[in-house]
Amino acid sequence: MKTALVTGATSGFGLAICKTLLQAGYRVIGTGRRGERLEELSAQFGEQFLPLVFDIQDINAIEKQLTNRPSQWQSIDLLVNNAGLALGLESADKANLNDWFTMIDTNIKGLVAITHFILPEMVAKNSGHIINIGSIAGSYPYPGGNVYGGTKAFVKQFSLNLRADLAGTAIRVSNVEPGLCGGTEFSNIRFKGDNDKAAKVYENVQYVSPEDIANIVLWLNQQPPHVNINRIEVMPTAQTFSPLAVARE
């Protein structure tokens, strides 16, 4: 039986990934700040689920929680670095600096801290798979994407550079790069509780669901051990490209 560690398990993609992996027979460690939600999930999922409560921005808390996890949960086969957020959609000159720092601390520093903790264990047993949740925002710039897109570009390049460092090992690394996805709290958080504004993002469009992303994560890990999907970019069929903007005089 495989053991997965999924960050950001309290909602959205992370919650769907936990459910899908549990249904597929994995044991799952789910993390997040909202302990009550994790306790509810623990009651729902039973002993195949281990909740760990910590803020991924807090390096000491990460180390403490992961070091103290029960012995039967020590060996991780699949790490899903999913916890993350966007804050604001203002242009760079109007953006809030603390929002930028929070995105960097969560999407970059939190992700690398978890990876730095778990990776040596995987190298020691020469097996494991790290699946990072990036974004199309890491490849395609858009107005107001500034630091959020920058953090996801980091996640993409970090994923590829991990592959380089892991040459000759059996450890796999994949970066999932979703586009417009609904059914999560992403936009509610981006727009700081303005739920009407958040709802408009998903109006009259068939978006990609958390279950779609969870199925992709499972599929990536179910590939034969010699197959590593480096990057996978996922958009709803309804989302596509536009011409570059030109400011005319």
DSSP summary character for residue 66: H
Cα–Cα distance, 198 to 19 (Å, whole number) = 25
Contact pick of 42, 48, 57, 65 for ligand NDP (by CB under 6 A): 57
Q: How far is the CB of 201 from ligand NDP (least distance, A)?
A: 8
Q: Do 178 and 215 touch, CB atoms closer than 8 A?
A: no
- Closer CB to ligand NDP, residue 123 or residue 211? 211
106 binds ligand NDP (CB under 6 A): yes
33 binds ligand NDP (CB under 6 A): yes
Rg (CA), the chain: 18
With CB cut-offs between 5 and 8 Å by kind, which of ligand NDP, ligand 8X3, none does residue 87 bind? none
Contact window for ligand NDP (CB under 6 A) among 18-26, 52-60, 163-171, 225-233: 52-60
Q: Any catalytic annotation for residue 148? A: yes
Q: Residues 118-147 vs ligand 8X3: string with x where CB under 6 A?
A: -----------------xxx-------x--
Contact pick of 181, 214, 217, 218 for ligand NDP (by CB under 6 A): 181
Residue 188's contacts (CB-CB under 8 Å, 6 or more residues apart) are 194, 195, 198
Annotated active-site residue in 26, 148, 202, 207: 148
Q: Residues 129-148 vs ligand NDP: string with x where CB under 6 A?
A: ----x-x-------------
Q: What angle do CA 210, 57, 51 make, to 5 degrees?
A: 55
Q: What angle do CA 72, 1, 74 make, to 5 degrees?
A: 25
Residues 6-34: b if buried by 16+ CB within 10 A, e if exposed: bbbbbbbbbbbbbbbbbeeebbbbbbbbe
Catalytic center residues: 148
Sites of contact with ligand 8X3 (CB under 6 A): 135-137, 145, 179
